Chains A and B, each alone.
Chain A
Amino acid sequence: MAGIGFELRKISRSGSLESIFRSYAFSGVISSGPWIISILSLVFLTRVLHLFLSKESIQLFSASVTHCYAFSLILVGPQQLVLTRHAADKFFAKKRDSIFPACYGALTLTAVLALAVGGIFFGTMVDGTVLYRMSAVALLVMVSCIFIISNYLTALRDYKSVVWSFFFGYAASCVLAYLSAKVYGEDAIILGFAAGHGVLFVLLMLCLHREFGAGGHSSTANAWDFLGYFFRFPMLMACGFFYNLGIWADKLMFWWFAESRQNISGSLYAAPIYDTAIYLSLLSIVPGMAVFFLKLETEFADRYQAFFDSIQDGGSLSDIRQAKQNVITTLRSGLAQLFKVQLLTTALLVAFARPIAESFGIGATQAGIFQVTLFGAFLLVCFLSMLTALFYFDDQRGALLASAVFALTNAGLGFLTIKLNEAWYGFGFVVAAGLGVMIVAHRLNARVARLEEMAFHR
């Protein structure tokens, strides 16, 4: 998407080391998405709340939040890519007016779905006070809506406001959770947390409205015309679903089937032996993602556009192939940078896994699992970045295949490793991500080899 890429390019062209660092930070925030920030704030919150709340209520809080995030990602997943496609098409067709109404439509749809899922899960399958249940449902709705909005954020030019909104929103979540816990007791933590997310939601809506809503709503723009895209791009829908399911599949397996799991409340489970390790290692992918995303949205997007321009402007076949070579070079160097940065990060983290694990108060077993999942996270970031490139090249079939294999393997092997013993924990995730990398790399190679041919196919 054009907007953010353009702004990031301006920063990286200004050249100073500090500005490059800043643009990496921004792209990290945007690409790694709210779920990483949420892990951070959750870790921070639990440590603070520890001072005056019981262990049980902290566990209930963190399990509820984790479930909300997992459910909302799986719920929003099928819509994400389809909405992105819809927005990109409208953007290309110079119908910016109809992007914002579609966002409203998607928000409505998502809110209803989240309300239904949350109502069923927290209403009937979890024990707790009415206040707690209603707050949990509200959090699920808020988080889902925030995911829908973040889908549109990369199209915004005013990325600074976006970053500030996230910062302020999560800060508010932490403060409100803390205050409501202090004032109204442990049942109210999640209400405060949800209220903070509400603040974030409103702020993001304001950002979005400022750019897309500027021209007013044209009467022709239909808030529901994006629904047709679900039928036009069923593969994108399936792909988004499997991808998000894949991210959570191993955790769901541990929550539901591991013997070491802890029953928090009703159907709400946690698997502390695995959870902390995997969350921490997911945090480790931020540097790699940031590096690759920056390259993708700036240089790669430029070169890819130049490739299409060379076709449109009547270039000869050798011109077109030269432009294609530039695309490949950029992609290759982007992936190489990702490997370097991520390899260094992962290696350092693996080396210092024990002290890090200790500082988070988890035991030696978890430190071992942490080392394994760190390696899995390394593979995951490779998988993710190449999958994104595959979307650029519009290989929906390949993306679907890779993400479906990733999701099913992660679930299947996750289940299998649970039935074995602790020494195997995390290896299911590693193998699933590895398989995903292999498939996606294969598809990417095949796609790139026929890049100019594909550009001519309808």
Chain B
Amino acid sequence: MKSAFQPKPDVCLLLEGTYPYVSGGVSTWVHQIINALPEYQFSLFFIGSEKAANVKFKYTLPPNIISIEEIYLHEPARGGGGSGRAPDDDCEELMGMLRAFLMEPSAGPAETTAFLAIARKIMKVSKVASFDAVWNHPTVWGLVCDIYEKHAPEESFLDFFWAVRALCEPIWKIVSASEQVPPARMYHSLCTGYAGFAAGIAASNYESAFLLSEHGIYVRERVSELQKARWITDPPVIRPDLYRQPAMLRLIWIEFFKLLGRFAYQTANYVTSLFENNARTQVEFGADPCRIEIIPNGIHVPDFYQLRGKRRAARQLNYGRKNVGFIGRVVPIKDVKTLLKSARLVVNVLPDTQFLIAGPMDEEPAYAEECQTLVQHLGLQDHVKFLGSVKVHELLGELDLMLLTSISEGLPFVVLESYAAGVPIVSTDVGACRELIEGRPEEKPNFGPGGFVVPVGNAEQLADGMIRILTDPLLGDQMGDAGRQRVEAHYASQTVIKRYRQLYQLTPKDFSRTGLGPLHRVKSDTTSNVPAVRPTTNVISR
């Protein structure tokens, strides 16, 4: 299937504003997976907003990246299609398709088919004429006016017009650039949005497989961004029920990103998600539950082996004295204040407990100061220590228990790392925390709880969970051990890499034949064969 002599890459990664120009969680993950799979050849298709001057790669590119293509969606058009007049009949046909698509929307696969047909038409027209030429065609004006009259007859037409143009131009650019996308066996997009759209088009052009992996949920992020966006002004109408009608522009942009999301989820042969809650959200935004697999992030577990011994020794030394850890920035989203309240409750019962708060204090200084004042008010000066930024390895060896009080999380690495060192967890029920602590339903046999999960913002229950673990060292050890087993089984980087190695081999037919379907089956396959070979890189992204 794969040959070193073929110039064609095995996998083309579609990257929207991430690797290799921008560092961050997704970029680190991409860098590590490319390094860990040297047997595959990769191409990168980078989609950016505007090309900044003198940007440099943030990573040293591994040798198995054989090509990089870039397009910028908000650059003034340079080339990007033909230069001739817009052909009348093609424009009319295209607008007819768009009119039907927008005025009588269809759902499900029909929508995807219609959208693909439109993309094909754009591909044809863009060979002859530029975006501007087609955009200035009278049929476009007619359609824009009709949509406006139907959906937003009261809004500023100027804003509406430019919004619609701003929606259409990137789509045009991506479609007309789809010939720049190298023919690959598999298109792997790291989000929905523009990259997911480009991947769907490329996969359908070359009849290749399309794999969609999301760390966050792109659509959800765009929606919450747009709900807050200041550049759109809401109409100043206050209705009797005090409901403030959001500006139509907000809704249009939101619907647009939802549409791109549905398109990517529908055209993808397979979707991966970091944890169950995210997978559920993907289904909400249009993904097919039968084509989703949970592939979490992994850590390199052997790094933590020696910590276990160190921790045992440390606990013998300060016998009777308990250490509770918290690793994270001191910011509102981590809810440090609830942590402090629960600390007071724990100290009431176990006066020998110490809380070690490790994480930068300078991100929101006002909040950090409030937390320190709260420590004074609660009389916890002798029990709470703000350590600032500390290396995780140094702290983990000292702890009896790790605390996580966030009000929002993805798949927190701090839980994986605590587990790897055998430290039990008390956490709020956010992101992947419940499945990390209780195990996913498919985990057979279940390793047992790795700690306690409690509702967000509930100091009493947090304290309750901590007291139970701290007063019962045996329970704590049991839970730490369950966590360790869970991480080794499901969250080891080798497991993750092995799974992607398998997925990268599949053709669209493979995906539809095996269905690969129900997550648990796939899951148990991968967990049973943990390879003995140590992968070349550590697939931690932090």
Contacts and interface: CB of A to CB of B under 8 A. Distances in A.
B136 A457 contact: yes
Contacts of B132: 458
A318 interface: yes
Interface string B95-132: 00000000000000000000000000000000000001
B250 to A, nearest CB: 15
B78 to A, nearest CB: 15
A311, A315, A316: most-surrounded residue (chain B CB, <10 A): A316
Nearest to A457: B136
B206 interface: no
B157 A316 contact: yes
A5 B149 CA distance: 36
B138 interface: yes
A431 B145 CA distance: 41
A215 interface: no
A456 B156 contact: no
B394 interface: no
Chain B facing A: main interface SS: helix
A453 interface: yes
A149 B303 CA distance: 84
B159 interface: yes
A457 B86 CA distance: 14
Nearest to B154: A316
Contacts of A291: none
A450 B138 contact: yes
A312 B158 contact: yes
A19 B357 CA distance: 85
Contacts of A456: 141, 161
B141 A315 contact: no
A453 B156 CA distance: 15
B136, B145, B156: most-surrounded residue (chain A CB, <10 A): B156
Contacts of A457: 136
B31 to A, nearest CB: 41
A450 B132 CA distance: 17
B233 to A, nearest CB: 9
Contacts of A364: none
B276 interface: no
Interface in A404-458: 450, 453, 456-458
B136 A315 contact: no
Given A311-B158, A456-B161, A458-B132, A317 B149 contact: yes
A315, A319, A456, A458: most-surrounded residue (chain B CB, <10 A): A456
Contact of B159 (A314, A320, A450): A314
Contacts of A317: 145, 148-149, 153, 157
Contact of B157 (A311, A450, A458): A311
Contacts of A316: 153-157
A138 B155 CA distance: 61
A47 to B, nearest CB: 57
A315 B161 CA distance: 12
Contacts of A450: 138, 141
B234 to A, nearest CB: 13
A457 B156 CA distance: 17
Nearest to B142: A453
Interface of B: 132, 136, 138, 141, 145, 148-149, 153-159, 161
Closest 9 CB pairs of A and B: A314-B156, A453-B141, A317-B157, A457-B136, A311-B158, A316-B154, A317-B148, A456-B161, A320-B157
8 contacts: A311-B158, A314-B155, A314-B156, A314-B157, A315-B156, A316-B154, A316-B157, A317-B157
Given A316-B157, A317-B145, 16 more contacts: A311-B157, A311-B158, A312-B158, A314-B155, A314-B156, A314-B159, A315-B156, A316-B154, A316-B155, A316-B156, A317-B148, A317-B149, A320-B157, A450-B141, A453-B141, A456-B141
